[in-house]
Amino acid sequence: MHDMIGVHYSEIALKGQNRGYFEKSLRQNVRRMLKGEECSIESVHDRILIRLLPGANEKSIGEKLQCVFGISHFYPAFSCGKSIEEIGLKAREIFQQVPKDKTFKVKSSRADKKFPIDSQELNRRLGEIFYNDGYTVDVKKPDVTLHVDIIKDFALVYTEKTACYGGMPVGTSGKVVVLFSGGIDSPVASWYAMKRGCRPVYVHFHAMRSNADAAKSKIGRLVQSLCRYSGRAKLYLVPYDTFQVSCASDYELVVFRRFINRVAEKIAALEGAKVLVTGESIAQVASQTLDNMAAIEEAVKIPIIRPLAGMNKDEIIAKAEEIGTYELSLGDYKDCCSIVSRHPRTKANLEKIKADEEKMNIEKLAEETLAQAEMYIFD
Ligand code: ATP
Ligand code: MG
């Protein structure tokens, strides 16, 4: 049984003066995600060390770490004293599981520069032990790589690394408001924004009987499932029936999109979020032509980020499956009515749209709609 997990970060280590802030955020996020697990967390030499306590569930901890953005990789390890003898003994224990016909190499690194033996020499001396035990060295493509990290108070010995998503710790880039439809695309868009350090505040417009019904629907389930990446998250539920009753335009779909962006912009102001995020992908459907996207964006001042702009539908679906939202997105959704034009216009006429919006008194409608919004918290 391993007694430590070493956690490494890549990109955040490069962030110059802000480095301390990024490290602290990552440590905090790791701590939140591992709440309830039998372990303790500390920082040593550019890495986070997770000490596994008696009864720790290594598999569960590993699965959670894989969802924390900012981690480049982690490795379950054995700790031991820093003498060659102790490291050799520990490594031999590991090698008991390795058949004799396997090739190996030793790869050591010294984070503790005061350690008297340099890495090359350490590799050589440890390599000798296993060579004498009958294993063959292969420095190019070994079957087993024995990693030895010399850190402050002990050495870590391990053979397996697990790659993670990298990116930035959630929260370090600030907040974004995600226009969340419950389809396949917007959960994936949200995931990409989180990967770059954004903390998502979800906004969903619905035509269900109540906000509480919407919270219990697949929308709530999707937000809940994305919490494994973000931790605690807010979801604003906003009924749009007032809009639906008042809307009279040939460009119904574009007017609706402009409308939800207006309301989302107000929520962003309340939340201190700097941008909106949508699941739009260029030319995927009629409402996502460049003309229509430009017309939609014209309604608001806040920038709109579209992480999926350049992705094909099959790529988005593959990602949704990987991050665990695809099945939920396919789930039933009982929206009693919806804004779907039978023949959606692909080329919006802004002048006409603005005239229609004026007749509907769109600004007042947005305020009234905002007043009906309710915020739910998921964890
Ligand atoms: P998705 O799979 O995310 O539903 P889609 O391919 O169905 O996307 P559209 O229905 O055209 O595309 O929606 C485009 C984007 O507009 C969505 O990705 C989402 O960001 C936003 N959006 C659409 N409907 C809603 C809604 N009811 N509430 C909040 N945002 C929405
Ligand atoms: Mg949709």
Q: Taking residues 90-119, report their average pLDDT.
A: 91
Looking at 163, 193, 212, which one is the last position of a domain?
Answer: 163
Nearest CA-CA partner of 112 in 155, 147, 70, 75: 155
Is 213 in contact with 244 (CB distance < 8 Å)?
Answer: no
- Report the C-alpha gap between 83 and 17 in whole angstroms: 35
Pocket-testing residue among 180, 184, 185, 236, ligand 1, by greatest number of atoms within 8 A of Cβ: 185
Tokens, residue 88: 């050799």
In a domain, 168, yes or no: no
Q: What is the pLDDT of residue 253?
A: 87
- Residue 1 binned pLDDT confidence (cut-offs 50, 70, 90): confident
For residue 64, what is the domain's CATH number? 3.30.2130.30
pLDDT in tens, 114-158: 888 899 999 999 999 989 988 999 999 999 999 999 998 999 999
Nearest CA to ligand 1 atom 27: 205
In terms of domains, do 229 and 131 share one? no
DSSP reduced 3-state for 19: helix
How wide is the angle at C-alpha 9 spanned by C-alphas 6 and 10, nearest 5°? 140
Nearest CA to ligand 1 atom 8: 185
In terms of domains, do 126 and 189 share one? no
Looking at 108, 131, 163, which one is the last position of a domain?
Answer: 163
In a domain, 297, yes or no: yes
In terms of domains, do 241 and 372 share one? yes
Please determine, for residue 164, whether its predicted confidence score (pLDDT) is greater than 70: yes
53 conformational bin, left if phi > 0, alpha if psi -120 to 50, beta if neither: beta
In terms of domains, do 69 and 186 share one? no
In terms of domains, do 178 and 316 share one? yes
What percent of the chain has pLDDT above 70? 96
Tokens, residue 210: 């109540």
Q: What is the pLDDT of residue 216?
A: 95
CA of 43 to the centre of ligand 2 (A): 43
DSSP reduced 3-state for 210: coil
For residue 233, what is the domain's CATH number? 3.40.50.620
In terms of domains, do 188 and 89 share one? no
Q: Taking residues 41-63, report their average pLDDT.
A: 95
Strand partners, 162: 74
Looking at 130, 163, 196, which one is the last position of a domain?
Answer: 163
How wide is the angle at C-alpha 10 spanned by C-alphas 8 and 15, nearest 5°? 125
pLDDT mean across residues, the chain = 92
pLDDT in tens, 338-368: 555 555 677 778 999 999 999 999 999 999 9
- Report the C-alpha gap between 287 and 281 in whole angstroms: 10
What percent of the chain has pLDDT above 90? 78
Tokens, residue 274: 């700097």
Residues whose CB is less than 8 angstroms from the CB of residue 294 and which lie 6 or more positions away in sequence, other chains included: 348
Please determine, for residue 51, whether its predicted confidence score (pLDDT) is greater than 80: yes
Give yes or no for residue 287 CB within 6 A of ligand 1. Answer: yes
In terms of domains, do 125 and 191 share one? no
Nearest CA to ligand 1 atom 18: 279
- Report the C-alpha gap between 309 and 181 in whole angstroms: 16
Tokens, residue 208: 């269900």
pLDDT in tens, 283-331: 888 778 898 899 999 999 999 999 999 999 999 999 999 999 999 999 9
Tokens, residue 201: 């505040």
Q: What is the pLDDT of residue 2?
A: 94
Please determine, for residue 166, whether its predicted confidence score (pLDDT) is greater than 60: yes
DSSP reduced 3-state for 286: helix
Q: What is the pLDDT of residue 250?
A: 81
Nearest ligand (C-alpha, residue 280): 1
The number of the ligand 1 atom at minimal distance from the alpha carbon of 277 is: 20
pLDDT in tens, 220-235: 999 999 999 999 999 9
Look-up: residue for tokens 């024995």?
146
- Report the C-alpha gap between 170 and 44 in whole angstroms: 21
Q: What is the extent of the structural domain holding 118? A: 4-163
Please determine, for residue 14, whether its predicted confidence score (pLDDT) is greater than 90: no
Please determine, for residue 13, whether its predicted confidence score (pLDDT) is greater than 60: no
Q: Are strands 275-277 and 103-110 parallel, antiparallel or unpaired?
A: unpaired
- Report the C-alpha gap between 5 and 7 in whole angstroms: 6
Which residue did the predictor score with more confidence, 19 or 378?
Answer: 378
Nearest CA-CA partner of 6 in 231, 170, 228, 158: 158
User: Is this prediction's pTM over 0.75?
Assistant: yes
Look-up: residue for tokens 């294993």?
135
How wide is the angle at C-alpha 221 spanned by C-alphas 206 and 197, nearest 5°? 95
DSSP letter assigned to residue 46: T
- Report the C-alpha gap between 178 and 188 in whole angstroms: 11
Q: What is the pLDDT of residue 277?
A: 98
In terms of domains, do 142 and 184 share one? no
pLDDT in tens, 77-86: 999 999 999 9
Q: What is the pLDDT of residue 335?
A: 64
Exposure letters 272-307 (e unless 16+ CB within 10 A, then b):
ebebbbbbbbeebeebbbeebbebbbebbebebbbb
Q: What is the pLDDT of residue 336?
A: 52
Give yes or no for residue 280 CB within 6 A of ligand 1. Answer: yes
